[in-house]
Every structure is written in C-alpha cells, then in structure tokens.
A and B are shown apart, each in its own frame.
Chain A
Amino acid sequence: MSTVAVEVTPTLPEVHYLNADYGWRSWLFTTDHKRIAWLYLFAITGFFAVGGLMATLMRLNLIEPQGLLMEPASYNKLFTAHGLIMIFFFLAPSIPTVLGNFLIPIMIGARDVAFPKLNLLSWYIFMLAGSVFMFSVIRGGVDTGWTLYTPLSTTYANGHVMSAAMGIFISGFSSILTGLNFMVTIHKMRAPGMTWFRLPLFIWALYATSVIFILAMPVIAITLALIALERVFHVGIFDPALGGDPILFQHLFWFFGHPEVYILILPSMGVMSELVAAGCRKRVFGYSFVAFSSVAIAAISFMVWGHHMFLSGQSLYAGFVFSALSFAVAIPSAIKVFNWTATMHKGSVSYDAPMLYAIGFIGLFTIGGLTGLFLASLGTDVHLHDTYFVVAHFHYVMVGGAIMGYLGGLHLWWPKMTGKLYPEAWARFACLLIFAGFNLTFGPQFILGYLGMPRRYDVYPPEFQVLNVMSSAGASILAVGYLIPLIYFTWSAFKGPIAGPNPWGAKGLEWTIPSPPPTNNFDETPIVTEEAYAYGPEEAHVG
C-alpha cells in the first residue's frame, strides 16, 4: 500500500507529546494544546461523518423527481440538521480548533496557548453543545432550515427547536473562548523577534477569525435567546401575529450569519498561504497584501448582511448599499487568489498532496467567489435567490474552499502531528477524486438554479432530473473521496513510515522541532531573526 520512499531512516524522538503520558485521564484532562487539537479532531470528524451521511441521504432522495426515499418531513429535518451540523459543529471549529490549536503556539515559538485550561474548557463546552444538539436530532429533529427564519421557528415549527437552539447557543461560548485564547496568545506569547510581519499568514488569518468569533457569536446567542422568549413565553418579537417583526430576525441572524461564513473560509485561506509557500518553497507573493486582505475581509464582513435580504422586504436603498459593500468584500478575496497564483510563478512546484489540495482550492474557490458576484448583484439575485444556484455557490466556497483547505492542511501537518507519513499515492488519488466528485456534485446545481429549482425541495419537476442525477452521482464519488483519507490516515498513525522533523523541506518554526513535538514544543525559546517563508539559500536558519 505504501508507496513513499523513505530516506535515510529518520527516527522518532524518544519522548514526545503523544507518549509523554498514558491513559484516558492524560487525554481528557490534558491542557496540552496539541492533545486538545486531537480531541477536537476526533469530535469534528464524527460530526462531519454525521453531516455527510445526511447529505448522502438527501442526494439519494433527489435521484427521483418524486423523491426516492422519504417523506418531506424527514427531508426537511435532514437538510436542517446537515446545515447546522456542518456549520456549527464541523466547519467553524475545523481549522481553528484542530490546526489552529496545534500550530498557533508552535508557529509563534510559544510553549502553549495563553490559557491552557480555558482551551480544554472550550472543548468540553463544545462537546456539551454537540451533545445537546444531537439530542434534539435524535429526539426527532428540527425542520426550520439552518436559518431558523421566524415566525416559522417561533410559532409554526413543531420540531425540537429549543434544544437545537440551545446546542448552538452553547457552542457559541466555546468559539468565543477559543477566539479569546488565540487573540491573547498571538498578542502576548510570540517568541523574541517574532514581529507581526514575520508571522506566518496562517496566524494572520486565524487572528482575523478570532476577532469575528468574539464579535459575531454573541449576536447569534442573543438572537437565539429572543427566539426562546417568543417560542416559550410568547413575547411578541418576530411574529407579526404577536406584534413582532419577522424581518428583524433576518437582520439579527445575518448580522451574525455573514461574518460566520468568513469564520468558515478565512482559516482555510490562512492554510492556503502555508500550503502554497511550502509547496513552491517560496515566500508568499505580496505577503502584506495577503495579510491585510484577511483583516479587510473580517472588517467588511460585518457590513454586508443585507445581501441575504434583497427580496425580503428591506428597503430598496438598503439593498443598494449592501450590494455595493458585498462587491467590496469580493476584492480582498480576489487579491488573495491572485497572490497565491503569483507565488507559483518561478517556484519549485511540488505535486505532493498538500500542494494538489492548494491547486484544487484555487480552482474551486475562484469559481465559488465569481459566482458570488451573481448573488451580490441586485438584479441577478431577483431570480437566483433561494435556488440551487445559491446552494452551488456556497458549497463551492465552503466545501471547495474551506474543506479543501482543511484537508490540505491536515496533509501538510499530519507528519508533524503524528511523526508518520501517509501513503502519498493514495493521498494524491483521493485529492483528485474529491476534486472530480465535487465538481460533478455541485457544477450541475448552478444550472439547476438558473432553471429555477428552489432549494429545500424534496421533490421537483421531472425536467430537472438529469442534472439532479448527475449531482447525486458526483456526491457518491465525493463520499468515497472523503473515506479514503480516513482509512490511510488511520493506517499511517499506527504503521506509517517515520517522517522526520521536516519531510517537506519547508520553512517555519514548526518544522524546526521534532515530529511529533515534545510536550513543551521548544526546549529553549527560539529567537526569530528572519521573515516567514525565508526560503532563499543565503538566509540563515532560525535559531
């Protein structure tokens, strides 16, 4: 199975963070950021599997225009749970809590995050939130859509809205604490010489994400509390029958919701910069433009929420403002894509799995970003709003962007996390399969949306069947593509060849320490004397 040629027998360090301590207590009560990253990795892989299974069932149902498998009630619960699980329990935590937890302290030359116990508490809060949410799913689920629009969610829905909302409410606290922890860590724990403009771009992206965590999560918490007030105590806030305003809910929800989607994509953009730099052995082109575009995205993301509401009854002029601002947020994303592409110019481009994921990301995110223009523009949104075009667009960004970045990052740093290599040929194959399966799944959905097929339909007119079958076929390929890494990563953790400290020949503090790293990361605090991605042959090593 293994196809990797191992060079002159690197050896595992005798003591490292994985074998420093044994027993379940050493994991469940650990304050080591690297072990906490593993706790998250297991949890979110579980949530991804559940959310993915739900997507598979939906795609199966849509093979037939009349619905192959289920009643509308079940279908509605599936897409609601799929959305909520993927957003709150997989994508939002994915890169920050797994790769971020593992790498932020190491990349800045610290021994741990600023508040290690708080870091563990975040995980427990996350698990509590996930359990409460899964309880609501098992008890019968919710059929409101992930957007929880009122008055459907407050007055008319019969499902377990309150326990689902409670799960999301709790998860917000986990995210806030993680964001706070990361911000303080990045501010206060940088090694001597690690100035802001020597930080890897991954750190910049996660810093921007942490700001959004802290500012946006309280808004969803407040909004969910208002839902509870109306649903349980019949206080008229959103339901016009009680004297409320249903559009108010949308303003509150999207004031959180749009920054939230940047919580999902920004970390992946950070990973991308690392993948491209390591994959081309080159300093990221236009470092400061890439860094500041993360900050610009975080800032503008709070001012574009109304583009979800062009047709909701919000004022025409509000629509103009939100449309213009939405175009403005597209520019920093475009800048990033151009700079990553330019980094490849005259680089030393590797064809290893992490770089393949990076190339896949550039392709899919470009399409995802450009199709966003159709929805930011007022005129086209009149027809495309709430159709499969929207579904395709955000899956290109969220799956094609965020998940490709997450998987690429996992492949880049897997040798660091485990000290082991994975079978490179299988990894390349899985990456290609995911890329192909993804495009077959979501490409046809753009056309379905243009034809007018609404989202959240379990049945549809027969003329949409061919495209739906194509999409479902793609989903099955995508599912296989996701299963393969699960298998070879598991194999690699136990039987994989030993990686050595720097299997990629990459730059960055994380590659200067053993794989797996010792519990305290650095025996001596490193002193940083050079910029990030100092690949030039003449430059001195970190030391």
Chain B
Amino acid sequence: MLYDFPLKPPEASTLSVEWDYLYYFLTALTIFFSGLIFAAVFYFAVKYRRREKDEVPPQNEGNLMLELTWTIIPSLICVFIFVWSAHIFMRASSPPAHATEIFVVGKQWMWKVQHPEGPREINQLHVPVNEPVRLTMTSEDVIHDFGIPAFRVKRDVVPGMYSTEWFEATKTGQYHLFCDQFCGMGHSSMVGTIFVMSHEDYSHWLSSQLNTKPMFASGELLYTQLGCNTCHTPDGKPGVPPLAGLYGSEVKLQNGKTLTADDAYLRESILGPEAIVGYPPTMPTYQGQLNEEEVLQLIAYVKSLGPPGERKATKQ
C-alpha cells in the first residue's frame, strides 16, 4: 500500500509552484514557533519541576519589554504573510485576457462542461497544457465548488451568478476534480477528472467529439425557437435593445448609471428583465424556462454578434 502514499499533491499548474512556496514558508514558520514553544515548555517543566510539596517560587509580575517583543514581532510576520498571500490571491483571481474560455454548470450531483467549440462533457474536463484556461461557472441548484488540488485552485459555484476560476496547466496527465462545498446527498460523488493534454491531442480531441455544433450556434437556434427574434430583430426595433455589438458595450440604465454588458448582465436580462432598469419591462421573464447551459448558449450567441465597432461574421 505504501507505494501509493503521497505526502504532496501533484504540482501541475503555474499557480501551484508559487502557492507551494508560501505553503512551505508557513509550514516552516509553524514548525519553528511550535518548536520554540515546545522547547520552552519542556525545559521549564523539567528545570523548574516541583521538588518539595510546599515550595513557593519567587514571584514575578511580568515584563513590558517582553510583552512588546512578542506582540510586535508576530505582528510584523503577519503583515509579511498578508502581503505575500494577498499577492497570490490577486493572481488566482485575475484571469489573463487571452485565456481560453470554458463553461461549467454544477448540478446535484454532476459537473456539466461546455466548450465554446461545441463539445460537452460530464464530470470530465479536457484542457490544453501551457495555455491559460478560464472557467465561467454557475449552478442550477445549490452552491457547489470546483476544486482541482493539483492546480491549487478552487472557487464556489453559486446559483444565480457567475464565478470565474482560471489556471494554466503545466503538466499533461489526469488530475482529481472535487466538489468542495457540501451540496447534499451525492456530494462525495460529485467528483471528476481533469485531462491535461498536449496542444495537438487537445485539438484532436475537440474535433473528434460528436456534438460539434458550437455554443453560439446552439444559442442561435434557441434565439429563434424561443421567439427572441420577433422583437430583437437584426436591424433593431424602436424600444428594443439591439443585440449586435451589445456584448462588452457600456449600457446606460434609467437611473443614470452605466454598466458593462458582460455575462452577468446578459444572464440577468434574459432571466429577469424587470431587474435591469434600462428599458421598459415589456420582455417576459425566461426564469424557469431555460436551464443554465441554455442561458450560456444564448450569451455565446449574443457575444458572437460582435463587440462594439467590429461586428464579426458569425455564420459558419
């Protein structure tokens, strides 16, 4: 059994290396200070052990310099750790702009993954090595958490909002995926495998998948099936926001504030249009009629209509 007895998780992402340095530092600090305290306690316990039943030792009120020393030194160490760890957290929370985007929907008790190119997976995630990957995640029901120990990343997957997580895998192989937020009966079975593949293998894998309709195309199909096109016509109608060029643009709300039309804005607008105050509430809500994957497909479609200024040719 000992042959399979790791004491360290695989180090398979750019973050994991940096993360481990901080972890080693904190471990060393823990060992040092515990060692210091243990040594003092043992030394005092032996040296000053009670030798006579009634002995009373000389008394001592305390020492201000000592108190200040052991207040200030730990405080400075804490400031140092805080800065270092905040830096790592910033990095873990800021995906690079050019990252490959993949979509994850958590559902009791499985992970559903959609690649923009079309392939879908359940409880598996295939990613290319040495490329930053950004996951946009949401949940159909309760809070889940998408954790990959080998990459030292983890983030709650919360219903009603999008959360993001990113990593850049550095070693090909298979790694554990765990749901880390207790999500009900099947929590411990909400696990999966991350496949890190070389660039060629990944392209091959993408093209070998049966469902190759890209996400935006599925979104376009929904757009017509749900009758979105009756109001949101390609040329635009008065009082109806045009979809082309909407994604990433600045939206002015009725209360004067401006918002960037990002994934969260679009999701909110599709599911609960009354919540977005920019337009009169004529659009019906699609809450309950669309699942989260379909919402993501619709967003992909809107996104495919191009960022402001450069309307892309989107049809295949």
Q: Which residues of A approach B to under 8 Å, CB–CB? A: 72-73, 75-76, 143-145, 147, 149, 151-152, 155-157, 239-241, 243, 245-247, 280-283, 285-289, 310-313, 316, 319-320, 323-324, 327-328, 330-331, 334-335, 337-339, 341-342, 344-351, 359, 362-363, 366-367, 370-371, 373-374, 377-383, 385-387, 447, 450-452, 454-463, 465-467, 505, 535-537
Q: Please measure, in the bound complex, the distance between the C-alpha atom of A115 and the C-alpha atom of B70, giving whole angstroms.
A: 41
Tell me if A323 and B86 are in contact (CB < 8 A).
Answer: yes
Count the B residues whose beta carbon is within 8 Å of the partner chain — how many? 90
Tell me if A334 and B74 are in contact (CB < 8 A).
Answer: yes
20 sample A-B contacts, Cβ–Cβ < 8 Å, listed by A number: A72-B189, A143-B185, A152-B182, A152-B184, A241-B159, A288-B62, A311-B154, A311-B155, A338-B70, A349-B45, A349-B50, A351-B50, A359-B45, A378-B88, A379-B19, A379-B89, A382-B89, A387-B180, A451-B8, A457-B178
At the interface, yes or no: B235 with Cβ under 8 Å from chain A? no
Kindly list chain A residues whose C-beta atoms are within 8 Å of the C-beta of B154: 311, 382-383, 385-386
Tell me if B74 and A331 are in contact (CB < 8 A).
Answer: yes
Also in contact, A373 and B78, with CB within 8 A (given A280-B57, A282-B57, A282-B59): yes
With both beta carbons as reference points, the residue of chain B lying nearest to A287 in the complex is identified as B62
Also in contact, A346 and B82, with CB within 8 A (given A363-B37, A382-B88, A457-B187): no
Q: Please measure, in the bound complex, the distance between the C-alpha atom of A505 and the C-alpha atom of B55, giving whole angstroms.
A: 10
Q: Please measure, in the bound complex, the distance between the C-alpha atom of A350 and the C-alpha atom of B46, giving whole angstroms.
A: 10
Q: Please measure, in the bound complex, the distance between the C-alpha atom of A155 and the C-alpha atom of B54, giving whole angstroms.
A: 64
At the interface, yes or no: B156 with Cβ under 8 Å from chain A? yes
Which one of A345, A373, A381 lies within 8 Å of B44 (CB-CB)?
A345
Kindly list chain B residues whose C-beta atoms are within 8 Å of the C-beta of A280: 48, 57
With both beta carbons as reference points, the residue of chain B lying nearest to A333 in the complex is identified as B74
Q: Please measure, in the bound complex, the distance between the C-alpha atom of A537 and the C-alpha atom of B287, giving whole angstroms.
A: 79
Tell me if B48 and A349 are in contact (CB < 8 A).
Answer: yes
Tell me if B182 and A456 are in contact (CB < 8 A).
Answer: yes
Interface of A is mostly: helix
Query: What 0/1 readout, one digit per residue, does chain B (100-130) give for beta carbons within 8 Å of chain A?
Result: 0000000010000000000000000000000
At the interface, yes or no: B245 with Cβ under 8 Å from chain A? no
Shortest distance between the CB of B127 and any CB in chain A (Å): 18
Kindly list chain A residues whose C-beta atoms are within 8 Å of the C-beta of B178: 452, 454, 457
Q: Please measure, in the bound complex, the distance between the C-alpha atom of A204 and the C-alpha atom of B275, giving whole angstroms.
A: 51
Shortest distance between the CB of A121 and any CB in chain B (Å): 36
Tell me if B48 and A373 are in contact (CB < 8 A).
Answer: no
At the interface, yes or no: B22 with Cβ under 8 Å from chain A? yes
Which one of B49, B78, B108, B186 lies within 8 Å of A72 (CB-CB)?
B186
At the interface, yes or no: B158 with Cβ under 8 Å from chain A? yes
Tell me if B23 and A149 are in contact (CB < 8 A).
Answer: no
User: From residue 29 to 60 of chain B, which have CB atoms closer than 8 A to chain A?
Assistant: 29-30, 33-34, 37-38, 40-41, 44-45, 48-51, 53-60
Interface Cβ pair total, 8 Å cutoff = 283
Tell me if A331 and B71 are in contact (CB < 8 A).
Answer: yes
Identify which of A143, A287, A363, A386 gathers the most chain B CB atoms within 10 Å of its CB.
A386
Q: Please measure, in the bound complex, the distance between the C-alpha atom of A101 and the C-alpha atom of B183, giving whole angstroms.
A: 40
Tell me if B1 and A289 are in contact (CB < 8 A).
Answer: no
Which one of A313, A344, A386 lies within 8 Å of B180 (CB-CB)?
A386
At the interface, yes or no: B153 with Cβ under 8 Å from chain A? yes
A-B pairs, top 10 by smallest CB distance, nearest first, are: A452-B149, A240-B160, A379-B88, A377-B85, A378-B89, A379-B85, A344-B44, A286-B62, A327-B78, A457-B188
With both beta carbons as reference points, the residue of chain A lying nearest to B164 in the complex is identified as A313
At the interface, yes or no: B171 with Cβ under 8 Å from chain A? no
Contacts A246-B158, A334-B74, A345-B48 known; list 15 others, CB within 8 Å: A288-B62, A312-B156, A312-B158, A323-B86, A330-B78, A334-B70, A344-B40, A344-B41, A348-B50, A348-B51, A350-B50, A363-B37, A367-B30, A379-B86, A450-B8
Kindly list chain A residues whose C-beta atoms are within 8 Å of the C-beta of B150: 452
Kindly list chain A residues whose C-beta atoms are within 8 Å of the C-beta of B45: 344, 349, 351, 359
Shortest distance between the CB of A234 and any CB in chain B (Å): 14
Q: Please measure, in the bound complex, the distance between the C-alpha atom of A505 and the C-alpha atom of B272, giving whole angstroms.
A: 72
Which one of A282, A316, A328, A334 lies within 8 Å of B93 (CB-CB)?
A316
Also in contact, A341 and B156, with CB within 8 A (given A351-B49, A379-B87): no
Shortest distance between the CB of A369 and any CB in chain B (Å): 9
With both beta carbons as reference points, the residue of chain B lying nearest to A377 in the complex is identified as B85
At the interface, yes or no: B206 with Cβ under 8 Å from chain A? no
Q: Please measure, in the bound complex, the distance between the C-alpha atom of A362 and the C-alpha atom of B36, giving whole angstroms.
A: 12
Q: Please measure, in the bound complex, the distance between the C-alpha atom of A387 and the C-alpha atom of B179, giving whole angstroms.
A: 10
With both beta carbons as reference points, the residue of chain A lying nearest to B288 in the complex is identified as A241
Tell me if B78 and A283 are in contact (CB < 8 A).
Answer: no
